[in-house]
Amino acid sequence: MHDPFLKKNETEMVAKGVVVIVHGAMEHQGRYSWLAGKWNVIGYHVVMGDLVGQGENAGDKPGHIDSFNQYIQQVRGWIAEADRYKLPIYLLGHSMGGLIIIRVIEESQLPIAGVILSSPCLALIHKPSTVLDLISRVINHIKPDLRIESGIAPELATRNQAVIEADQKDDLYISKVSVHWFRELSNAMRVAHEQIALFKAVPLLVMQGGNDLVVDKLAVENWFKTCQVQNKQFHLLPGLYHEIFNEPEREDVFKKAAAFVESIEKH
């Protein structure tokens, strides 16, 4: 099915592959223009879009989804579009985008050459108390589209002041999410751990901010250690916050991602 929010950034070089970028929660693909440009410069097309309920695809219920499966099916559509180039496909997902990619790989047999996960959302640092968790379950049955403040301010995600200021002025940046969205996210995180044995043998790079204030870095490392993929790399990036591709050190972060992709191409 055609996705009107899907965008392609094509390299001017002879393309070596296609990178499908999946953004995180409450943001949008427009925040990845720098990263897309970096891939273009070294010879890769980029395919990316706005997830359901996010960015320009927010519709009349921003921050809400009926099912996490909507994300999975949407990203499968992006991969199908990338496959039209008939080139190696690499998936790059940040935070919730990383979680979506994990669930896509666990559920599907797709033509993927490699996966890059940026601070994947496999557990949150600030979890609701037992009481709040119970309340959210009750509200989910009564008014699932009730929206609440996410509590994640731009300054918690990055130390890059220019990015923080841009986010504060960004009309597409969502600050509220629905109760049902939260329940679906929580369930997807649980399933990602439970079904890790189904994560296919695709080369894997996980990069995690050492000072992440959003995602639990220990949960990410534990998931990585449990993953049975043979060709896998884990980089804990000391001092970096959640959005590693927006941090002041992002040039070095990109070099690690590019080196990983190039190492796959050599084999």
Tell me which of 50, 94, 119, 212 is the catalytic residue.
Answer: 212
The token duo for 108 is 């599907």
User: Is 242 an annotated catalytic residue?
Assistant: yes
95 catalytic per annotation:
yes
- DSSP assignments along 32-68, one per residue: GHHHHHHHHHTTEEEEEEPPTTSGGG-TTSTT--S-T
Q: Does residue 186 have an active-site annotation? A: no
Whether the Cβ atoms of residue 243 and residue 119 lie closer than 8 Å to each other = yes
Which residues have a Cβ under 8 Å from the Cβ of 200 and sit 6 or more positions away?
105, 106, 109, 112, 229
Return d(Cα 267, Cα 263) in angstroms, integer: 7
Distance CA 88, CA 175 (A): 36
Q: Which of 95, 118, 178, 186 is catalytic?
A: 95
Tokens found for residue 96: 């919730």
The Cα–Cα gap between 196 and 56 comes to 32
Signed CA dihedral, 250, 256, 257, 258: sign only: positive
C-alpha angle 220-18-170 in degrees, rounded to nearest 5: 65
Question: Which residues belong to the active site?
Answer: 95, 212, 242
